[in-house]
A and B are shown apart, each in its own frame.
Chain A
Amino acid sequence: MKTWEYITRRLILLIPVLIGVTILTFVVSHVIPADPAMHFAGGPKAQPETIERIREELHLNEPVLVQYFYYLNDLVHFDLGKSYLESRPVTDSLAQYFPATLELTIFAMLISIPLGIVGGIISAIRRNKLSDHITRFIAIVGYSLPIFWLALMFQYAFAYQIPILPLEGRLSIGVSAPPPVTGLFVVDSLLAGDLEACGSALYHLLMPAFTLGFATLALILRMTRSSMLEVMGADYIRTARAKGLSERTVIFKHALRNALIPTVTVSGLSFGALLGGAVLTETIFNWPGMGRFAASAVIGLDFNSVMGFTLVVAITYVLANLIVDLLYAVIDPRVKLGGV
């Protein structure tokens, strides 16, 4: 099967999942709450007239199935309702905050994946030595840590006790944001040739991105270590050694390529954990992304925004997993593209 055919088929298979996701978000927003109109109006303190008006607007007096079609109709017109906290369409808010979250998530992956792979390799080749024990300890603690607590501990240590990193935000005070092209400050400032802004953006990314990526780092470290150990015991590694190849060639040319396959899968799956973690990390580091927006929407009873955020994250996550699956086929020639 050709690659394009495979991609098309995977995209078609996405449709039922996406429809399912809209049914799920519809049920959560319109069916579960005792009084959805009250939720959309901003909670129990809303004016009765407002609640009544919203009940009309959302067709809440109609049968559930009819309500769902109205909901779907709004979705295909990119209408996620109005944000009560920001008095503007939810889509506008999400569009504004999305790039900041994307930048943070990308940097979290850029930090955690290479560190995890290197740590995993070191751990595997030095099995049961001190460095192995240390990395394994980091790994197990890493995914047992509450991310929001880790963030606060880092802030205490590196912004207060030894103040070497900024406490919060995306840029230093006095540095103006680069002209928006992609919305990613690091990229935009480079495009504008503003090295000061770029440096400031990177400096501000360091702590939040490391915090957000820490659990992923731990997971990848474990995964790489165990698959490295498994591969090192394989027959073709013994063959490679018997041929008299150097240990370096054996590890990097023969073992690593095969050991990295499960790591790629884990990296894709961890993208979901990163999006979830962004809610907590962004809140603590005052990072103006979708996650902080969603967390404040939860507190401010801005239900439209919470549901809109959920939907956008679901779609992003589904697409990210598709990309990983495609990548998988590129790395491992044994994967026949047809074998879905």
Chain B
Amino acid sequence: MLHLFRHSLLSMIGLALILLVVFIAIFAPLLIQEHPSYVEVSTDQGTTRVEERWDINFENKLLPPGPEHYFGTDDFGRDIYSMVVWGTQISLKLCLMVVLTATIIGVILGGVAGYFGGKIDEIIMRVTDVFLAIPYLILAMAVAAALGRSIENIMMALIVVWWPQYARLLRGQVLSIRENQYVEAARSVGASGWRILFRHILPNSFSPLLVQITLDLGAVLLVAAGLSFIGLGASPGTAEWGLMISMGRTHMFHAWWYVTFPGLAILITVLGFNLLGDGIRDITDPKLRR
């Protein structure tokens, strides 16, 4: 499989970008120049929450990129390079949590709908129709607004929005795989419905699922950054890319670096996932191989 990958330059670039981003996320504490501290703050709901804080130093306010600060500093004198690198962890964690949870929910519901059919299929599919009738960003915005502002709530909102398409995808897979003779053979030796679903159908749905997951990691990051940008995510001062762009917006014309670098970080990560996803699709779908 890997040798096919090598023929596609774009997929190789995608793979390289993702490896780079994962490397940065893992080794972030070693790569940054300044480190965050953690403080306990009270929330709207009366509970407390731990938040990261970056040292404020007004003397270094809005310095352009240079050897001291690779990506310059923000309006509170914080090092943008350190925050962008740190933000890699936050973003990757968010995308993975959202997409994997949505996949699990979608796979179970879609599998049940496709395999057992009948009333339960009808109900699950009508529910997905409703969710898919509202654009992602807008439904997620409404749910996140109802839950209250925080990164965790953005994650919850995105899971709510994202599971239906996995349910659809898996249902379609089940309907086509179910007709194969090996499934019939399993059934004839007395395998239970769940066993057939998990041992026979799910492994055979792996590649379309993997393509969808890879592409969605990027898509989720874009929507999450958008929600942070309008102010639904972390509290100001957190190293979250969408939020940083939103904060830098007022300083855009005299400090271009403030919005530019967090945006490039989002672009590179999403581009990596999209190129990789396209690459996996091309090599797993023989019809597209030319």
Chain A residue nearest to B139 in the complex (CB): A310
Q: A145 CA to B265 CA in the complex, in Å?
A: 10
Q: Name the one of B127, B142, B253 contacting A160, with C-beta atoms under 8 angstroms.
A: B253
In the complex, what residue of chain B is closest to A315 when comparing beta carbons? B133
Complex Cα spacing A152 to B229, Å: 12
Given A152-B249, A160-B253, A298-B230, CB of A20 within 8 Å of CB of B127: yes
With A152-B252, A313-B138 known to touch, is A20 a contact of B126 (CB < 8 Å)? yes
When distances are taken between beta carbons in the complex, the residues of chain B under 8 Å from A21 are 130, 133-134
**Cβ-closest chain B residue relative to A273:** B135
Among residues 238 to 258 in chain B, which have CB atoms less than 8 Å away from a CB atom of chain A? 242, 245-246, 249, 252-253, 256
Q: Does B147 contact A (CB under 8 A)?
A: yes
Instruction: Give A29 Cβ to nearest chain B Cβ, in Å.
Output: 7
Question: Which 10 pairs, one residue from A and one from B, show the smallest C-beta to C-beta distance?
Answer: A20-B130, A276-B137, A149-B263, A272-B135, A276-B135, A144-B271, A144-B270, A310-B142, A32-B146, A314-B134
Interface string of B198-222 (1 = CB under 8 A from A): 0000000000000000000010001
Cα-based distance from A317 to B137 in the complex (angstroms): 13
Which residues 10-36 in A have Cβ within 8 Å of B in the complex?
16-17, 20-21, 23-25, 28-29, 32-34
Given known pairs A140-B274, A276-B138, the reply for A23 and B225 (CB within 8 Å) is no
> Number of contact residues on A: which range applies?
35 or more
User: Within the assembled complex, what's the spacing in Å between the Cα atoms of A303 and B133?
Assistant: 21
Interface centre among B131, B135, B225 (most CB of A within 10 A): B135
Q: List 14 A-B contacts (CB under 8 A).
A: A17-B133, A23-B130, A28-B143, A33-B146, A140-B271, A148-B226, A148-B242, A152-B252, A276-B226, A279-B230, A283-B230, A294-B141, A298-B230, A298-B232
| A310–B134 touching, CB < 8 Å | yes
Besides A146-B226, A148-B226, A148-B229, 20 other A-B contacts (C-beta < 8 A): A17-B126, A20-B133, A21-B130, A29-B146, A44-B44, A140-B10, A144-B218, A145-B267, A148-B225, A149-B259, A149-B267, A152-B245, A152-B249, A155-B252, A272-B135, A276-B137, A294-B138, A298-B230, A298-B231, A317-B133
Give the contacting residue for A34; candidates B45, B129, B133; CB below 8 A: B45
Interface residues of B (CB under 8 A from A): 10, 44-45, 126-127, 129-131, 133-139, 141-143, 145-148, 218, 222, 225-226, 229-232, 242, 245-246, 249, 252-253, 256, 259-260, 263, 266-267, 270-271, 274-275, 278
Asked whether, in the complex, the Cβ of A141 is within 8 Å of the Cβ of B145, the reply is no
Residues of B with C-beta under 8 A to A33: 146-148
Report yes or no: A298 in contact with B145, Cβ–Cβ below 8 A. yes
User: Which residues on B sit within 8 Å (CB–CB) of A277?
Assistant: 137
Contacts of B129 in A (CB 8 A): 16-17, 20
CA distance A307 to B222 in the complex (A): 22
- Nearest B residue to A145, CB-CB: B267
Q: Is the CB of A32 within 8 A of B259?
A: no
Q: Known: A146-B245, A152-B245, A153-B263. Is A317-B134 also a contact (CB below 8 A)?
A: yes
Chain A residue nearest in CB terms to B45? A34
Closest to A23 in B: B130
B145 contact set on A, CB distance < 8 A: 298, 303, 306
CB proximity of B247 to chain A, nearest CB, Å: 12
Q: Closest B-chain residue to A226, C-beta based?
A: B288
Closest-by-CB residue of B relative to A309 is B138
Taking CB atoms, residues of chain A closer than 8 Å to B267 are: 141, 144-146, 149
> Looking across the interface, which residue of chain B has its beta carbon closest to that of A32?
B146
Q: What chain A residues lie within 8 Å of B252 (beta carbons)?
A: 152, 155-156
Contact A146 B222 (CB under 8 A): yes
CB interface residues, A 284-317, toward B, < 8 Å = 284, 294-295, 298-299, 303, 306-307, 309-310, 313-314, 317
Q: How far is the CB of B160 from chain A (nearest CB, A)?
A: 9
Say yes or no: is A198 at the interface (Cβ < 8 Å to chain B): no
CA of A182 to CA of B127 in the docked complex: distance in angstroms?
36
Residues of A with C-beta under 8 A to B45: 34
Q: Does A39 contact B (CB under 8 A)?
A: yes
Residues of A within 8 A of B44 (CB): 43-44
**Does A147 touch B at the CB level, under 8 Å?**
yes
- Which A residues are in CB contact (< 8 Å) with B222? 144, 146-147
A143 is an interface residue with CB less than 8 A from chain B: yes
Given contacts A149-B267, A313-B135, contact A25 B142 (CB under 8 A): yes
Q: How far is the CA of A141 from the CA of B126 in the complex (A)?
A: 34
In angstroms, Cα B266 to Cα A143, docked, is: 12
Chain B residues within an 8 Å CB radius of A156:
252-253, 256
Most B CB contacts (10 A, CB to CB) among A34, A144, A277 go to: A144
**B133 and A307 contact, CB distance less than 8 A:** no
Q: Which residues of B contact A152 (CB under 8 A)?
A: 245, 249, 252, 259, 263
A144-B271, A145-B267, A160-B253 given; A275·B138 CB < 8 A: yes
**Within the assembled complex, what's the spacing in Å between the Cα atoms of A220 and B99?**
25
Within the assembled complex, what's the spacing in Å between the Cα atoms of A283 and B44?
Answer: 25
Please give, as numbers and ranges, the residues of chain A lying within 8 Å of B141 by CB-CB distance.
Answer: 279, 294, 298, 306, 310
A295 touches B230 (CB 8 A): yes
Contacts of A284 in B (CB 8 A): 249
Q: Does A280 lie at the interface of the complex (its beta carbon under 8 Å from any beta carbon of B)?
A: yes
Which residue of the partner chain B has the closest CB to A302? B145
Bound Cα distance from A125 to B226, whole angstroms: 36
Closest to A30 in B: B146
With the chains together, A165 CA to B53 CA distance in Å? 39
CB neighbours (8 Å) of B137 from chain A are 276-277, 279-280
Decide yes or no: A280 and B226 within 8 Å by CB, A28-B143, A144-B218 being known contacts.
yes
In the complex, are the beta carbons of B134 and A39 less than 8 A apart?
A: no
| Given A17-B130, A29-B146, A39-B146: A310 touches B230 (CB 8 Å cut-off) | no
User: Closest Cβ of chain B: how far from A213's Cβ, in Å?
Assistant: 15
